Structure 1
């Protein structure tokens, strides 16, 4: 039995640095960034965008969230977070650096970063009660 592979073509998201009122599939965004020579999403601003996974976002520094819906947490904000085990790297994540998210919503996205980032994230979302 032979299966016929079908390719999926997605419209380009644009080079940024500003994204407004867009639906963004994060694997596509990082693929476009890597094709342009960068292994991270840097210096971008997202306003009222829906950012979709499945993905794990690595906040690599200078990442700010303003009035965002971080996604379904199943009653516990800690469900959105993954703590890195290694001291220097996190493989398989989508790294964001110096990016701002305003009034965005996240769907099927987990978050990771430094202990300071993770603690701040939990504090803003109300710890285990969100």
Structure 2
């Protein structure tokens, strides 16, 4: 007997700019944004959403997290962070600009951004920078 592969079905995403109580697969969100001509997710508000990776969010400016569960850190919040090595770009990360995350939960998501973003992330969530 041969097993037939079943297509992966994803919950439909609204057009935004506001997303509330949705399960969002981040690769699907950026694919949709890129299909619309933008490699950056801009001017969106996410409220009580579950945002899933695997993915790395690049906070490109004006990104706010309010009362969010940033996800499993393995006991050290620094495990969720990646510091960019290059001075100007991060390739492969999903860029967000001027977005708000309110009471959201993140699963299998890492975070990156400017040194100020990373330092603030650590300060607010109780990690120690190095």
Q: How far has the Cα of 1:99 moved from its partner? A: 0.2
2:47 paired residue number: 47
2:24 paired residue number: 24
Q: How far has the Cα of 1:25 moved from its partner? A: 0.2
1:63 paired residue number: 63
TM-align CA RMSD: 1.4
2:90 paired residue number: 90
Q: How far has the Cα of 1:127 moved from its partner? A: 1.0
Residues of 2 paired with 1:16 and 1:47: CA distance?
A: 12
Residue 106 of structure 1 aligns to a residue in which SS? strand
Q: How far has the Cα of 1:7 moved from its partner? A: 4.0
- Structure 2 portions without partners, runs of 5+: none
1:122 paired residue number: 122
1:76-121 per-position Cα deviation (integer Å, ceiling 9, x unaligned) = 0000000000011000000000000000000000000000000000
Residues of 1 paired with 2:124 and 2:53: CA distance?
A: 22
Residue 89 of structure 2 aligns to a residue in which SS? coil
TM-score by length of 2: 0.92
- Structure 1 portions without partners, runs of 5+: none
